[in-house]
Amino acid sequence: MFQVKPVAAERLPELLRRMPKAELHIHIEGSLEPELIFALAQRNGVPLAYASVEALRSAYAFSNLQSFLDIYYAGASVLLKEQDFYDMAQAYLRKAAQDNVVHAELFFDPQTHTARGVSMATVINGLHRACVDAQAELGVSASLILCFLRHLSEEDAFATLEEALPFRDKFIGIGLDSGEVGNPPEKFARVFARCRELGFHLVAHAGEEGPPAYVWTALDVLKVERIDHGVQSIQDAALMRRLAQDSIPLTVCPLSNLKLRVFPDLASHNLGQLLAAGLVATVNSDDPAYFGGYVNENFTQTFAATGLTAQHAYTLARNSFEASFIDDAAKRRHIDRLNESFETFA
Ligand code: ADE
Ligand code: ZN
């Protein structure tokens, strides 16, 4: 096992920023900064309910997941053309590269766009082109995960899958997001079974606001490989043992949990407890334009508030590669670079 040297508390932020990492839980529509929302609204002639960038940003005060989703879906209404999707993803990937993200798996919500008359081709081709260009421009590998909106029906998810299948070589997996409580994973049992037959990777949001029971059914009914959030799993000791035994990764998003009031403050966040229980937790930004920070901000603020150490930093970065959907050779290469970055940090 790799030996991590102790690092003084005041040097930790630098270590966290510099270490290479993967980001596995980022909704690309949640990376749309107010400035880009206004620029795209103007370019496309879309009216906005806010007079200025500042007015829009000041509306970002949320009481729970639904209060955020309402404003997040409204923000996405400025996306109409393939170039808009490209510009959004390119802006995120450039920010990610600055945070030393070397691999990213991007969620997108096609139903948010197809419901407004935007074609599946427009959405996927724009996002995919930005992922391809990121490798050449930034040295960042990026892939796409199509999410079904769980507040809509399973029938709607099936129709979305059909529409997306002509582009199946442009996304690697299927996820499940939007309002969790009242929309349990098992609502999507048949469509996830179909996606599994088709060979997609499977993930689902579960245990963000919803109960541990939703994490169980995401695993046992949907047969997902990773759980997005999953922080409520801590309430169920048997579930914690299952997640540890089967090395099921949790893509944890501390600033999201803070802004959506899943935890009252960052000091109360359970990331340290999840790691202590042997879970494969990772740190991610979820919707960075709305929650006050990209992945490095999630790392530095959480470590400052909870007293996590360099050893935790290494584990979290290593977990991000182990939990990713890249091949074993690429994982090995990234972990070798991670080890080097810790060895040479002085
Ligand atoms: N869509 C975007 N962000 C989300 C979150 N945190 N939970 C569920 N759905 C989302
Ligand atoms: Zn999310």
What pLDDT does 178 receive?
98
Confirm whether 176 is domain-assigned: yes
Domain contains 3: no
The pLDDT of residue 5: 93
Measured CA to CA, the distance from residue 86 to residue 123 in angstroms comes to: 9
Q: What is the pLDDT of residue 1?
A: 75
Say if 298 falls within a structural domain. Answer: yes
Counting ligand 1 atoms within 8 A of each CB, the residue from 24, 26, 27, 284 with the most, and so the one to mutate, is: 27
Name the closest ligand to CA 23.
2
Consecutive H or E run containing 292:
none
Question: Strand pairing of 226-229 and 21-27?
Answer: unpaired
Q: What is the pLDDT of residue 70?
A: 94
Mind listing the pLDDT tens digit for each residue in 309-319? 999 999 999 99
Residue 343: active-site member: no
Is residue 103 included in any domain, yes or no?
A: yes
Please give the distance, rounded to the nearest whole angstrom, from the Cα atom of residue 230 to the centre of ligand 1.
Answer: 13
Q: What is the pLDDT of residue 103?
A: 99
The whole-number pLDDT of residue 346 equals 83
| Residue 51 φ then ψ, to 5° | -80, -25
In this structure, which residue's CA is closest to atom 6 in ligand 1? Answer: 286
22: exposed, middle or buried (Cβ count in 10 Å: 0-12, 13-18, 19+): buried
How far is residue 272 CA from its own chain's centroid? 19
Ranges of residues in the chain whose predicted pLDDT is under 50: none
d(CA 175, ligand 2 centre) in Å? 10
**pLDDT score recorded for residue 309:** 97
pLDDT digits (tens, 9 = 90+) for 41-72: 999 999 999 999 999 999 999 999 999 999 99
pTM: 0.98
- Best mutation site among 62, 65, 256 for ligand 1, i.e. most ligand atoms within 8 A of its Cβ? 65
Binding pocket residue ranges, ligand 1, CB within 6 Å? 27, 30, 65, 72, 177-178, 205, 208, 256, 286-287
Closest C-alpha to ligand 1, atom 10: 178
Nearest ligand, CA 106? 2
Distances (CA, A) of 98 to 102, 117, 244, 337: 10, 34, 32, 17
For 174-208, how does the pLDDT look when each residue is reduced to its tens digit (9 = 90+)?
A: 999 999 999 999 999 999 999 999 999 999 999 99
Atom number of ligand 1 nearest to Cα 180: 8
Q: What are phi and psi of 273, to 5 degrees?
A: -70, -40
Q: How many domains does the chain have?
A: 1
Whole-number pLDDT of residue 170: 99
CA of residue 178 to ligand 1 center, whole Å: 5
- Shortest-distance Cα residue to atom 1 of ligand 1: 178
| 71 located within any domain | yes
Give me the domain span that covers residue 267. Answer: 9-343
Q: From atom 8 of ligand 1, which residue's Cα is the shortest distance away?
A: 178
Tell me, in angstroms, the distance from the centre of ligand 2 to residue 253's CA. 8
29 Cα nearest atom in ligand 1: 2
Sheet of 21-27: strand order equals: 21-27, 101-108, 141-149, 173-177, 201-206, 226-229, 250-252, 281-283
Whole-number Å distance, alpha carbon 265 to ligand 1 midpoint, is: 19
- The single residue of 208, 209, 297, 340 carrying the catalytic annotation is 208
Nearest CA to ligand 1 atom 9: 178
Which atom in ligand 1 lies closest to the alpha carbon of residue 256? Answer: 6
Domain CATH number, residue 86:
3.20.20.140
Residue nearest to atom 4 of ligand 1 (CA): 178
**What backbone phi and psi angles, to 5 degrees, belong to 118?**
-85, 135
Could you tell me if residue 49 is inside a domain?
yes
- Residue 198 CA to ligand 2 centre (angstroms): 24
Exposed e or buried b for every residue in 99-136, given b needs 16+ CB within 10 A? bbbbbbbbbbbbbbbbeeebebebbbbbbbbbbebbee
* Mutate-to-test residue for ligand 1 from 62, 214, 287, highest number of ligand atoms within 8 A of CB: 287
